[in-house]
């Protein structure tokens, strides 16, 4: 697609430079050549060429000269603000020359529209008693214990059972289990199974009649009526901890002594999370509005590179969960290109928003001093419990700190704080 921010540069390498590259390529290739009567690397060049052809040396010789050609192109275009790795394409090659075409992508011009006083409102944040109740219940459930109980199986109990399933009097594959812990009401078994365990005692045996669902994965069992012979070995109930000082200490709240204090802390936590979500949405809405008012032609190469970065970020996210990108592609029956396509629109927005913020920085003449950047680096290093040098090395250096601070200042302009 034609784009004024895309420039093509042709580089032709010929004469002695190309001849020397071909000679080096021959020496390297000759060491692996199999030519009757000669040890590897000892065959005369004319015999090598007769067997393999001069064309066999072109790509190796091209690899030898491409790096210098690339650096020459970059140095000759220092005045251009490149925003993507130059694309390299072989244009032509023969015994006398090789020609590459480098595609350079430069930063597009952004014509800002209205970006101050935008009609964008931040969502108000409210924490309900129901949300606090739910959060406290989740805390208690995390510390709940399963204890053995006497009596009958009740809804919510854990029944430890032996079972075996039969269809037309014959046991079927996959229908048997021993000492299986089944939570009554979890709906993990066939509909109707768990309900029929209610009322059973330890040691009791019972036949349970159910039918498999019509959409069951095993063809021979779809919709089939079956009988499970079940024995209850043990019954457990879930004990949820009381809201007392011991429980608060387990949560890490040594200074909390009452339920009211816990609920107040939970409320603050929920509000902080909601505030962060509201802030993020507010910033996105501001960026969307400012970007819709701006005019910019984004080169597809910038979007492609951003999508690549997003794929690598996603790969890191998967790795933290113990999944490789290749496994993800197998699970989802997809590939890297499909993932890139899926991320295209978000990648485009990320590039657009970044360009708009950079244009605001330029328009507002926002600058960050060395002192401000160093102070920010020290605070962030302390936050992440790293030395300043370790943090800067991981973050990308002081220039990246400066860039990040200018972006935050541009966002403050959008918010009307500057």
Looking at residue 59, what is its pLDDT? 92
Q: Which 8-state DSSP code applies to residue 55?
A: G
pLDDT in tens, 275-304: 999 999 999 999 999 999 999 999 888 999
End-to-end CA distance of the chain: give it in Å, rounded.
39
How many contiguous H segments (helices) and E segments (strands) does the chain have?
Answer: 12, 8
Note the Cα 35 to chain centre separation in Å: 51
Element (DSSP H or E) covering residue 87: strand 87-93
Across 59-85, average pLDDT: 88
Residues facing residue 234 across a β-bridge: 160
Nearest-angstrom CA–CA distance, 265 and 126 = 15
pLDDT in tens, 136-181: 999 998 898 899 999 999 999 999 999 999 999 999 988 999 999 9
H helices of 83-174, in order, are: 129-142
Instruction: Return the percentage of the chain with pLDDT > 90, whole number.
Output: 74
Nearest-angstrom CA–CA distance, 8 and 101 = 6
Across 76-84, average pLDDT: 84
Contact between 356 and 112 (Cβ < 8 Å): yes
Contact between 92 and 11 (Cβ < 8 Å): no
Range of lowest pLDDT (39-48, 192-201, 285-294): 39-48
Looking at residue 81, what is its pLDDT? 85
315: its two tokens: 């790969």
| Close Cβ partners of 401 (under 8 Å, ≥ 6 residues apart) | 368, 373, 376, 377, 380, 392, 395
Residues facing residue 231 across a β-bridge: 162, 205
pLDDT of residue 1 exceeding 70, the answer is no
Mean pLDDT of the chain: 92
pLDDT in tens, 214-269: 988 888 899 999 999 999 999 999 889 989 888 998 888 888 989 999 999 999 99
Nearest-angstrom CA–CA distance, 297 and 252 = 53
pLDDT of residue 3 exceeding 70, the answer is no
135: its two tokens: 């959060």
Q: How confident is the model at residue 2 (pLDDT cuts 50, 70, 90)?
A: low
pLDDT in tens, 311-339: 999 999 999 989 999 999 988 888 999 99
Looking at residue 130, what is its pLDDT? 96
pLDDT of residue 377 exceeding 90, the answer is yes
Q: Which residue has the tokens 């430890």?
A: 160
pLDDT of residue 8 exceeding 60, the answer is yes
Q: What are phi and psi of 178, to 5 degrees?
A: -125, 140
pLDDT of residue 388 exceeding 80, the answer is yes
Residues facing residue 90 across a β-bridge: 100
Contact between 228 and 210 (Cβ < 8 Å): yes
Contact between 282 and 122 (Cβ < 8 Å): yes
Nearest-angstrom CA–CA distance, 85 and 99 = 19
pLDDT in tens, 393-413: 988 899 999 999 999 999 999
Contact between 216 and 162 (Cβ < 8 Å): no
pTM above 0.95, yes or no: no
| Close Cβ partners of 82 (under 8 Å, ≥ 6 residues apart) | 74, 104, 105, 106, 107
Q: Which of 250, 252, 175, 254 is nearest to 208 (CA)?
A: 175
């Amino acid at each position: 697609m034609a784009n004024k921010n895309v420039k093509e540069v042709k580089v032709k390498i010929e004469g002695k430079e190309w001849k020397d590259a071909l000679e080096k390529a021959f020496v390297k290739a000759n060491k692996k050549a199999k030519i009757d009567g000669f040890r590897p690397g000892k065959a005369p060049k004319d015999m090598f060429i007769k067997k393999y052809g001069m064309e066999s040396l072109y790509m190796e010789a091209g690899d030898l000269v491409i790096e210098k050609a690339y650096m020459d192109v970059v140095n000759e275009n220092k005045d251009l603000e490149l925003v993507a790795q130059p694309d390299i394409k072989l244009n032509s090659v023969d015994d006398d020359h090789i020609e590459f075409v480098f595609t350079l992508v430069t930063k597009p011009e952004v014509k800002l529209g209205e970006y101050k006083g935008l009609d964008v409102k931040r969502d108000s944040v409210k924490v309900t008693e129901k949300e606090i109740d739910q959060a406290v219940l989740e805390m208690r459930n995390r510390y709940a214990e399963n204890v053995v109980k006497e009596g009958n199986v009740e809804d919510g109990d854990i029944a430890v059972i032996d079972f075996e399933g039969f269809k037309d009097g014959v046991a079927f594959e996959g229908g048997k289990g021993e000492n299986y812990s089944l939570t009554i009401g979890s709906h993990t078994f066939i509909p109707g199974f768990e309900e029929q365990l209610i009322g059973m005692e330890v040691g009791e045996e019972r036949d349970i009649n159910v039918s498999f669902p019509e959409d069951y994965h095993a063809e021979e069992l779809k919709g089939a009526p079956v009988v499970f012979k079940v024995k209850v070995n043990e019954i457990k109930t879930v004990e949820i901890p009381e809201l007392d000082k011991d429980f608060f200490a387990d949560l890490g709240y040594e200074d909390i002594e009452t339920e009211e204090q816990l609920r107040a802390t939970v409320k603050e936590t929920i509000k902080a999370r909601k505030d962060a979500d509201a802030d993020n949405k507010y910033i996105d809405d501001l960026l969307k509005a400012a970007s819709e008012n701006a005019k910019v032609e984004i080169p597809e190469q910038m979007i492609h590179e951003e999508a690549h970065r997003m794929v690598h970020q996603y790969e890191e996210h998967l790795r933290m969960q113990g999944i490789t990108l290749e496994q993800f592609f197998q699970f989802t029956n997809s590939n890297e290109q499909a993932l890139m396509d899926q991320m295209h629109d978000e990648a485009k927005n990320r590039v657009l928003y970044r360009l708009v913020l950079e244009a605001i920085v330029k328009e507002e003449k926002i600058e960050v001093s060395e002192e401000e950047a160093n102070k920010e680096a020290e605070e962030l290093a302390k936050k992440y419990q790293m030395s300043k040098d370790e943090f800067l090395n991981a973050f990308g250096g002081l220039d990246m700190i400066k860039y990040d601070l200018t972006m935050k200042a541009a966002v403050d302009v959008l918010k009307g704080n500057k």
